[in-house]
Amino acid sequence: MADIIIENGTVLTMDPANEHTLKEGTVVIEDGLIKDISLSTNERADTVIDASGCVVMPGLINTHTHAGMTLLRGYADDMALNQWLEDNIWPVEAQMSDDDIYAGTLLACVEMIKSGTTSFADMYIHVEMVAKAVERSGMRAALSYGMIDFGDSIRADRELEEGKRFVKKWNGSADGRITTMYGPHAPNTCSEELLIRVREQAEHDNVKVHIHVLETEDELNQMKEQYGMCSVNMLDRIGFLDNNILAAHCIWLSGGDIEILRERKVNVSHNPVSNMKLGSGIAPVKELIDKGINVSLGTDGCASNNNLDMFEEMKTATLMQKVSKLDPSLVPADTVLKMGTSNGGRALGIKSGILKKGYNADVIIVDMNKPHLTPLYDPISHIVYSARGSDVRTTIVQGQILMDNYELKFLDENTVMEDARKAAADLIERVDIKRE
């Protein structure tokens, strides 16, 4: 007896080895995994979901965010990264408590579950509380503690210890839903020594590394001044780059940098909305994809986006490339859908993002019976160009239904919102008192 059967839906498997679209397909789920994908089944299950008129697809995978930053949604807009971080975000983060991070991360999980994201890669502070919130939410996540030393060796020791403690305690926890990574913040906020130690430690612990790379022209200039070379060259010189690296943003890349990322098989997380909002620039996504580099998608945090809707991210990713080169054929819908699903699974080293026997049962059901999704010629076109996160009807992670027919099963959305509102108000009051 299976746990869940989803029947009568249009199934987008995203499996490169198989047909991408199965009309009126059936997905069988057992013990947290996909047991079968077919046109019909003789299996019986405890729960049978009729997905008529819906698209059944892998849950979306957000490969770069800072979930706790939901508390800072709308707090500081319309400025560039450095001013945004240094004058606005970091002073508030310095006042954040464990409870704030828990409330903010839980709010992020509610937002993600409701908009069809089943896994995310996070880099943040008070990271134990991030893990506790993820554990409670039922989501899957690759979590890292964001380390910064600004060249201070005592601070570097402390930061690395914190990162190590977190990896040791949480890797593989929550029935395997939580994996961990090391999270050195960026090449211009971490010393070369810290980056080298992180790389060695990550290899020792067999975990991946999540880092911001060449997000701004300021970073490029700073690195050239400090090291006489750009971030990618510096990271390559110290032997940092390989296929266990998840590099977020990667906007200010030269042709040579792209070649290095290809050679080293680095995974790139593209964050188009945040990149536009902070005025950081346009990443060379077409060039990266043409080189065969694994490019996935991330929202970045809620203070630079200002939401966690991966449907919006997919649409923005393709539109941004088209307009930047005045070529509408660039990064077509099926490519961007892979970026939001299977490429994300590959980047995080998890068997998610594809509906295939033996893969994690991380599945979403998107309701196509909506005016803005009518008529329906091509489900992939609608998922990328017309659908929104709010069209997701059902979200399943590791075979557990987290949202059924638009209703969250394990979290009370109103309580989560109220807790977040209160945490945000108290936090900003503390910040204001400190500033006076």
Ligand X SMILES: C[C@H]1O[C@@H](n2cnc3c(O)ncnc32)[C@H](O)[C@@H]1O
Q: Which residues are annotated as a binding site for substrate?
A: 93, 155, 185, 215, 300
49 with 405: CB under 8 angstroms?
no
- Between residues 140 and 210, which has the closer beta carbon with respect to Zn ion? 210
Q: How many residues bind Zn ion (CB under 5 A)?
A: 1
Cα–chain center distance at 341:
10
Interface with ligand X, residue 73, by CB under 6 A: no
Span of 171-179, 254-262, 300-308, 316-324 interacting with ligand X by CB under 6 A: 300-308
The answer for 74, left when phi > 0, alpha when psi is -120 to 50, beta otherwise, is: left
Q: Which does 191 bind (CB under 5 to 8 A by kind): ligand X, Zn ion, none?
A: none
Q: Which does 346 bind (CB under 5 to 8 A by kind): ligand X, Zn ion, none?
A: none
For 303, the token pair is 């203070």
Amino acid, res. 139: M
360 with 81: CB under 8 angstroms?
no
- Between residues 317 and 384, which has the closer beta carbon with respect to ligand X? 317
- Does residue 241 sit in helix, strand or coil? coil
- Between residues 182 and 359, which has the closer beta carbon with respect to ligand X? 182
Nearest approach, Cβ of 19 to ligand X (angstroms)?
38
Q: What is the sign of the dihedral through the CA atoms of 245, 148, 212 and 421?
A: positive
For 116, the token pair is 């069809």
Angle value at C-alpha 425, between 419 and 431, nearest 5 degrees: 130
Q: Which residue is nearest to ligand X (CB)?
A: 146
Interface with Zn ion, residue 122, by CB under 5 A: no
Q: Which does 215 bind (CB under 5 to 8 A by kind): ligand X, Zn ion, none?
A: ligand X
Nearest approach, Cβ of 260 to Zn ion (angstroms)?
21
Among residues 25, 116, 146, 389, the one that binds ligand X under rule CB under 6 A: 146
Q: How many residues bind ligand X (CB under 6 A)?
A: 15
Cα–chain center distance at 152:
30
Among residues 300, 312, 313, 391, the one that binds Zn ion under rule CB under 5 A: 300
Backbone torsions φ then ψ of 83, nearest 5 degrees: -65, -40
**Distance in angstroms between the alpha carbons of the first and the last residue of the chain:** 64
- Closest to 213 (Cα-Cα) out of 230, 200, 229, 226: 230
Backbone torsions φ then ψ of 109, nearest 5 degrees: -65, -40
Q: How many residues does the chain have?
A: 436
Backbone torsions φ then ψ of 325, nearest 5 degrees: -115, 5
Span of 74-82, 216-224, 292-300, 385-393 interacting with Zn ion by CB under 5 A: 292-300
Question: Please, which of residues 304-363 interact with ligand X by CB under 6 A?
Answer: 304
Amino acid, res. 395: T
Among residues 123, 160, 247, 380, the one that binds ligand X under rule CB under 6 A: 123
The neighbour count for residue 380, using CB atoms within 10 Å, is 19
Nearest approach, Cβ of 90 to ligand X (angstroms)?
6
- Between residues 146 and 389, which has the closer beta carbon with respect to ligand X? 146
Span of 3-11, 131-139, 222-230, 293-301 interacting with Zn ion by CB under 5 A: 293-301
Would you give the DSSP letter of residue 360?
B
Cα–chain center distance at 264:
22
Site map (CB under 6 A) of ligand X, residues 77-116, x = contact? ----x---x---x---x-----------------------
Q: Is 94 exposed, middle or buried (0-12, 13-18, 19+ CB in 10 A)?
A: exposed
Interface with ligand X, residue 300, by CB under 6 A: yes
Among residues 132, 208, 212, 315, the one that binds ligand X under rule CB under 6 A: 212
- Does residue 352 sit in helix, strand or coil? coil
Nearest approach, Cβ of 128 to Zn ion (angstroms)?
20
Interface with ligand X, residue 10, by CB under 6 A: no
Interface with ligand X, residue 126, by CB under 6 A: no
- Between residues 118 and 305, which has the closer beta carbon with respect to ligand X? 305
Interface with ligand X, residue 185, by CB under 6 A: yes
Strand ranges, E, within 13-114: 21-30, 33-38, 45-50, 54-58, 60-65
**Which residues are near ligand X by CB under 6 A?**
66, 81, 85, 89, 93, 123-124, 146, 185, 212, 215, 274, 300-301, 304
Interface with Zn ion by CB under 5 A: which residues? 300
